[in-house]
Each structure stands twice: as C-alpha cells, then as structure tokens.
A and B are shown apart, each in its own frame.
Chain A
Amino acid sequence: MRGLTLVPPTLRAMRLGPVAGAAAAGLLIAAGPALSGARLEAGDLGDLLRLAALCAATGLAFAFDDPARPTLVAVPVPAWRAAAVRAAAALVAFAAWWAAAVAAVYAAPGPAGLPLAGLSVEAAAVAALSLAAAAVAVRFAARGIGGPLAAPAALAVALAVVLAPLRPPMRVPADTAGPTWAVVHHRWAALLAVLVVTTVVAVTAPRARRRYRLGERGRPGGP
C-alpha cells in the first residue's frame, strides 16, 4: 500500500482556503431561498443551484496548486499519484458539498421537485471543467500555481458553453421535461467525459524534458 502513504502529506499540502471559501459562498447561494423565505419556481431554483455549483467549483481550480512543486522534481514517486490524491479529495469534497447544497435548496418553502439526475450531471461537468482548467494551468505554470488563472478561465468557458448558439441551448430551464432535457443532458455528459479525459491527459502526459542551464530561472512575473 505504498500509494496510500502519499495521502496524508498530500492532503496537508493542499491549499484549503480557496476551496473552502468558494464552497461556503456556494452554500450561502443555495441556502438563499431558505434563509430569505423567498418562494421560487422550480426553474428558478434550478438556475440558483447551477450558480451555486459554479461558485463552489471555482474553488476546485486551486486543487492542483502546489508552491513546492519545483522542489518535487527530484521525488521518485510519479507526479500523477499526488495529483490523483488531490483530484479525489477535491471530488469527494465537491460531492459532499453538492449533497448539502441540494438539501439547502429543498429546505426552501414552495415547490422543489427538481430533476436532480440531470442537474447533478451539470454540476459534475462544471466541477470537471474547473479541475481540467487547473490541471492544464498548473502544467504550464512556472511555480506550481495555476489557480488564479484557471478559476476565471473556467468561468469564461462556462459562460461560453451557456451562450453557445445550440438548439436546444445548454442551459434549459429545470422544469423542462421530455426529449429536450434528455438531449441537453447527453451533451452535458459528453462534455463531462471530454473534461475528465483532458484532466487525466494533462496530469499524466510526460513533460518535455527541460534542460536546466546555468542562470535559468522560473519566470519572475506570472499572471
């Protein structure tokens, strides 16, 4: 069980601040109707849950950030193992958060018969989008910090996906029933698969061997 010995130190090295901050803000969003007593239609509740998921997913963009990364080049354990531990921890945390957010929405007064299966696929895709952005960004970041660029990039991609001129569009009201809902969510599932593959490739693909010459340093600036 050599792999498991990696778990505690990796978890300790994760930056919890962004993940926890984004999750807390997301939970507040989902709990908005319950706290304010506002009665929302099912379609509006679905949109609120989507925005909450987007908010919480923003924190996942920081999951792969590791300021110590430049010093880990010499470690004999493959880098993808630590990344896998981080991704698994992030996804478990996000899944628990999602359950809490759904419970918070259902605590609101009024109708709450939401198509949870489809909404969960959307939430998973948004989480995978953040993780994929994080994996790609950290790969190209000089100092092991990709989150500051990955989080807004994931938001921009999410905005582009929602605005994409598709028929039916990717964002359909949560009270949509029947074939339209199914078509849209097959698409979301496909997007989820693409994003998972992107993340795995970005984490595992071998890096081009860098020759360190005398005097070369990491880029001092960064975003």
Chain B
Amino acid sequence: MADLLTAPVNIAGRAGGNRRAALALARVEAARFLRHPLSVAALLLFVSPWVYDLVTGTGNRFPVLADAAVDLQVLGLFALGGGAMVTAHLAALRAHRHNADELFDTLVLPPPWRTLASLLALLPYAGVVAVLVAARLVALALRPGAVGVPDLADAAVVPAVVALFGAVGVLLARLWRSAVAAPVALVVFAVVMFAGLVAGVEGPAWWRQALPIMIDDRGFALPAGLVDRPSGRHLVYLGGILVVVALAAIARSGARRLVVPLLAAVALTAAAGAAQFRGDPALQRLRADVARDPAPLSTCRTLGDVRYCAFDEFTPWIASWDEVVRGVLRAAPAVTGPPLVVRQRVWADGPGRAGFSADPGSEVDRVEGWRRADADAGFPEAVMAGTAWGSDVDAATLAAAVAYRVVTGVSRSRVDLTCGAQGALLIWLVGHATPGTAAGLRRADEDSSGAIVFSDFSLLTTIAVPDRVAAPALALLTRPAAEAEALVWAHWAELADPATSVERFGALLGVPVPPLPPVEERPVCAG
C-alpha cells in the first residue's frame, strides 16, 4: 500500500519525467488534432478554391508567385487559423466538457505541463499546413507563365497563423470555459480584421501591420525590386505574439517564474512590430523613378515587328501578350503612327486600391509625363501594359489599349470617353481579336453602367466607350467574322477618322445605332 502511494511521486520527481510525460501527451493530442473533423473540414475548405480552379479550368495561368503567397493568407487565416483555434479550444476543454476536471486533478502531470502538451500538439498540424502551402506554391511555379519567386516569409505566415490561433484557443480555454467561446472569439476577430480594413483605407496605416496578416492593399503586382512589404519582420512579430500567448496560457494554468521570459517575448514582439514601420527613402525614390521610366528594371524583346519591354521577371508573359496583340493587328489593315511597342509599366508610387480621387488635371499630367518618358527612351507612343495578367478582362484591356493605338496613332492618354466611329471600331477590334478578349469584352459589357470600361489597376488608366457607341460594334460582332472583317477593311480609312460619327459607322457597316438619349443623359465625349 505504501508503495502504491509513493510510486507516482517518484515518477514525477524523476528528472525529465514531466518532460517525457508531456511529450507523450502531446503526441496523443497531436494525433487527435490531426484527425479531428474540424481540422479536416478546415483543410478541405482551404484547398477547395484550388480544386474548383482545377475542375473548371479557371485557374490563373500567369500567377505572380509573390502575390500568390500573400493571397493564400486570407483563407489560411479564417479557415485554417479559425479551425485550429476551435479545435485547440475544444481539446483543452475536453476534461471540463466531460465533467472530469476533478479526476484530472489527481493526475501526476501538473497543469502547466499539460498546457504545454496542448501547445506542442499544434505543431504537427502547422507542419501539414506548411507542406500544403509549399505544394501549392510549387504547383503554381511550374506553370509556364509564373512570375518571380514567392517570399518565404509570406509563405510561412500561414502555418505561423495556424500555430498562433491554436495557442489562442488554448489560452481561451483557461479564460472562458464554454464551447461557444472560440466561435464567438473568431467572429469578434473577424470584426477586428474588418475594422482594420475599413480604417486602413483612410485611417492610420499601423492597423495593417498590427493585424496577424498584412492585407494586400495594392491590388496589383510589383517587380520584386520595388516591393516594400516588411514580410520577414512581420513574421518575427507573429512569432513574438505566438510566444507571448503560449507563455500566458502556461502561466494561466499555474506555472511560476515566467515573468522574465514573458517580458522578453513582449519586448521582442514590440521591437519586431515597430521595425515593420521602418521606411526606406531610397526605395521610395526608386519607385517614383521606375513608375516614370521602367527602363532600369526592364528587358526588351522583339517578336515579329512588335517590340515588347517587360520588367525582368515578367518576361514569361510576353508570348501571351503577343497573341492578343497579333489578334488586334490581324483585324486592322494599317497601323497609324510609329512602329508598335508594348511597354510594361506600373504606377508603383500611386495610391493603389486604397483610394483614388480622379482629378482630371493631375491625371493628364501623370499620363503625359509617362508618354514623354517613353518618347525619351526611344519608344514613342508605346502601348502601356500593366502588371495584371491572366484573366479575360486583362486580355480585353490590353487589346483595347492596342486597338486605341492602332486606330488613333497615339497611346492612350486621354481620360475622357472614346466616341464616334473610332470608339465603335475599338470595341469591334477587342471583340474580334481572340476568344479571350471576346469573353473579356462580354464581361465588361455585363458590368457596364453607361459605358464599357477597360481599366488597369496597376496603371489607373482607363479606356471607356459609351454604351450607345459600343452597341453597333457589338451588333457587328454577331455577324460572321470574315464578312465583318471585309466590310471593316473596305471602309477602314473613314472609320478610323476621328471626325466620323457613330451613325456613319452604322450606315457603312449596316448595323443599327440606338437613338440619342435626352441631352442631359448624353455622355460627354472628347473633342
């Protein structure tokens, strides 16, 4: 009897006994975590967009890998992070939910060690997530149009967030012992993210970096040399929060002498968090320079009689651009103006998605400055291509830019509507160029409210054609392609003349033109 009573004490007192017991517990908990229905459901939710893309063939064949790593973070945060939080919370509360707390009090492994085991049990799941993210990025990198390399720190954010949210679930189990706590905490966190997004648009910028993931507020890709995302420092910041939360959970379950490590972790977190805001003036200057003249980071290549200049890592897109450009050129009997050049640019120091107040005067100055820079670089009237590519709408936008250049002889620089026969001809060229541009035109037409708009977020330039001007061109596109092409070629010179009206376009090609709307509803056209 005496042996029975003293035996557990001996085991606990033996050097390393607690550690071994905690590791054994962590192994069991990790296995339960991995096969928990919520973990599996979260993984399925995370991969479902990939399966959808695979099945429907809608995946982007031209991914920018650095942005792909960032895009994974949002669903990783809510599906995987949320799933980890709820699962870890339920696991840590299992004894409580089954009214077995008192029984657990008799166990020899002290509560702080059991909490440590719950925290360690998160790591295999985070490992599975890391493998999944890596596999996804490798699969994207194998696509022929893939651009650049992903930032490893951005890729590591998803498993780090999974571990962090799991740790928050463990801590939450020590604070609010109800199964509803984790789901409610998750929704409250979503509100915090939402507030950060709303505040980030016009409020203080620190919100964005303080959140677990740095939401992409630009909306388009940048060449690697211009990126100012503090991904590495943000990952350290995340790791700091993870350590703070883990230590807090262990301390909360009764561990002593954790004040110093906790303070050290808080200091590390604060330092890494603050380091994210260190700006780089040289990079800011480089961005402004490259936005005006992309030559220092660009590579040029000639395909046929068209010259393409792309940012160095974006050259895999040139062949695909060429298909669209060929499509437009095939349909046009003549190219007005100097030899055709397609030059990739990006408004790297522009406002991005965050907010754009259209001041026509400054817009004209900006785009005119770009045109002068193109002329100085030896590419007068170069067609601008942005850093968005892959969708049908992107293809239609490039086709519209090329068509504008082919018809008018100048690269797009006006911010007003394109009207008259030129506008209708532009729409017809876009719809006629390739199946992809035709699909993009249909999409732009569906989204039209008053005018069909082709706009590129990375340039914030827009070509817009009023619906009434586009209508005869859309009607012409329903005719057999060869017949329409022959008609257009026969009247090309008159159709490309800026003085020709859209009524004349309809009369020449035999397509109806909608009647003029009342004066106050008429769009204001150029010239």
Contacts and interface: CB of A to CB of B under 8 A. Distances in A.
B337 interface: no
Contacts of A145: 97
Interface stretch (B181-189, B273-281, B282-290, B481-489): B181-189
The SS class assigned to the A binding surface is helix
B187 A18 contact: no
A54 B79 CA distance: 16
A54 B185 CA distance: 12
A156 B38 CA distance: 9
A159 B180 contact: no
A76 interface: no
A148 B188 contact: no
Nearest to A65: B179
Interface string A48-76: 10011011001101100000000000000
A14 interface: no
Contacts of B183: 22, 58, 61, 151-152, 155
A142 to B, nearest CB: 11
B178 interface: yes
Nearest to B91: A223
A55 B180 CA distance: 10
B52 interface: yes
Interface residues of B, number: 35
B180 A58 contact: yes
A61 B37 CA distance: 17
A66 B479 CA distance: 68
A35 interface: no
A223 B41 CA distance: 14
Nearest to B446: A167
A25 B98 CA distance: 26
Contacts of A153: 38, 41
B82 interface: yes
Q: Which of the four size classes fits the interface of chain A?
A: 35 or more
B41 A18 contact: no
Contact of B194 (A47, A59, A160): A47
Contacts of A165: 49, 52, 58
B191 interface: yes
A156 B179 contact: no
Nearest to A145: B97
B180 A51 contact: no
Contacts of A173: none
B506 interface: no
A40 B198 CA distance: 8
Interface in A16-66: 17-18, 21-22, 25-26, 29, 32, 40, 44, 47-48, 51-52, 54-55, 58-59, 61-62
A59 B38 CA distance: 18
A111 interface: no
A58 to B, nearest CB: 5
A160 B38 CA distance: 14
Contacts of B75: 163
A223 B178 contact: no
Contacts of A54: 187, 190
A17 B180 contact: yes
Which of A32, A51, A145, A155 has most B Cβ within 10 Å?
A155
A163 B184 CA distance: 20
A62 B191 contact: no
Contacts of A21: 178, 180-181, 184
B245 to A, nearest CB: 20
Contacts of A163: 49, 75
Nearest to B85: A152
B178 A17 contact: yes
Given A26-B187, A152-B38, 4 more contacts: A48-B194, A151-B180, A152-B86, A165-B49
